[in-house]
């Protein structure tokens, strides 16, 4: 049975991916360190549906520590590296933590691959690497040297680090640039989950800027499908190093996002307009033609459907 190691398996995207891989009859080795960025209880709940699956093996460990993976006895065929410290604004407050959790942890993954002779890696990068690029949509060939947050520069640094190990050790790697993934189990700090909770409670929501910023929201099932397709591509090809956008190619204005949530909940949002936050980009907009051509990526979930799905999950979990 083919085995895939998923780092960050207890997180939002990692838990959905682990479920999908198990459904596809892969053996999954999951690792997570339950980073205190948000409560460990939420992450454990994310894994509740598959933690007991016979083909799932979980290890709690910290990838920042050199050699942390050495004791794993499972034979691994491919790694999907999703683990890392997330969040643009917190990275401005504590850049070193992001260097440790993103860059150092990724180097430890790459060294583990080299030691164990694991050739295949799908790496979670971010649309943040594009910074405030004025040209849209964002294509993978654009210059991404102008990061505007520590989070973004760590993701760009990891892409470069991956290329170095590909060049030196012939590792097959795809850098996957995610674009504002949303859906059930979304992190508590992210706007959609926060806004649904506040609007449901008839509380005021903060709107940074005039509502004209835009994000290329991508539903989690579509992102997971893209990751699986990247894995399939890596299994089928050798001497691979590539970078692809996994977005939706349909930016949604902040004002439209708020309006859609209000309409789905049947509640008129109360908005407090605030200044733009440092490190936030004006818009993200993915050109996904390369992903379509290379791996057959084809996102299917509309923003409205994704919001309805999230609201349904939110109500089922009775979060207040």
DSSP letters, 131-192, are TT--SSSB-TTS------SHHHHHHHHHHHHHHHHHHHH--EEEEEEE--EESTT--TTSHH
| The two three-digit tokens of residue 317, written as one number | 């979990």
Q: How many CA atoms lie within 13 A of 289 on its CB side?
A: 6
Name which of 221, 194, 142, 183 is nearest 313 in CA terms: 183
Residues in the chain: 320
Per-residue pLDDT of the chain (320 residues; tens, 9 = 90+): 999 999 999 999 999 999 999 999 999 999 999 998 889 999 999 999 999 999 999 999 999 999 999 989 999 999 999 999 988 889 999 999 999 999 999 999 999 999 999 999 999 999 999 999 889 999 999 999 999 999 999 999 999 999 999 999 999 999 999 999 999 999 988 899 999 999 999 999 999 989 999 999 999 999 999 999 999 999 999 999 999 999 999 999 999 999 999 999 999 999 999 998 887 788 999 999 999 999 999 999 999 999 999 999 999 986 54
DSSP label at residue 277:
P
Q: Report the DSSP beta bridge partners of residue 178.
A: 126, 246
Q: What is the pLDDT of residue 214?
A: 94
Q: What is the pTM of this model?
A: 0.96
Helix (H) or strand (E) holding 67: none
Query: For the structural domain made of 3-179+220-247+286-300, what CATH number should be given?
Result: 3.40.50.720
Which residues are identified as catalytic? 151
């Amino acid at each position: 049975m083919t085995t895939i190691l998923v780092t960050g398996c207890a997180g939002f995207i990692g838990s959905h991916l682990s479920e999908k891989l198990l459904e596809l009859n892969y053996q999954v080795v999951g690792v997570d360190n339950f980073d205190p960025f948000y409560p460990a209880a939420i992450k454990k709940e994310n894994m509740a549906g598959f933690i007991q699956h016979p083909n799932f093996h979980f290890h709690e460990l910290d990838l920042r520590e050199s050699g942390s993976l050495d004791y794993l006895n499972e034979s691994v065929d491919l790694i999907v590296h999703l683990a890392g410290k997330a969040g643009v604004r917190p990275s401005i407050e504590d850049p070193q933590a992001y260097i440790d959790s993103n860059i150092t942890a990724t180097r430890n993954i790459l060294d583990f691959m080299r030691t164990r002779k694991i050739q295949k890696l799908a790496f979670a990068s971010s649309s943040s690497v594009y910074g405030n690029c004025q040209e849209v949509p964002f294509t993978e060939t654009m210059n991404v040297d102008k990061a505007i947050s520590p989070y973004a520069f760590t993701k760009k640094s990891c892409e470069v680090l991956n290329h170095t190990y590909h060049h030196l050790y012939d590792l097959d790697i795809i850098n996957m640039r995610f674009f504002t993934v949303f859906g059930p189990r979304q992190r508590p700090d992210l706007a959609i989950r926060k806004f649904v909770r506040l609007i449901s409670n008839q509380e005021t929501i903060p709107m940074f800027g005039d509502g004209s910023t835009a994000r290329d929201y991508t539903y989690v099932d579509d992102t997971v499908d893209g990751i699986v397709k990247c894995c399939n591509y890596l299994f089928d090809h050798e001497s691979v190093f590539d970078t692809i956008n996994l977005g939706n190619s349909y930016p949604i204005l902040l004002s439209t996002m708020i309006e859609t949530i209000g309409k789905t909940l049947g509640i008129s949002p109360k908005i407090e307009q605030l200044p733009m936050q440092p490190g936030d980009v004006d818009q993200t907009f993915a050109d996904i033609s390369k992903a379509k051509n290379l791996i057959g990526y084809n996102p299917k979930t509309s923003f409205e459907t994704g919001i309805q799905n999230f609201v349904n999950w939110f109500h089922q979990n009775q979060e207040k």
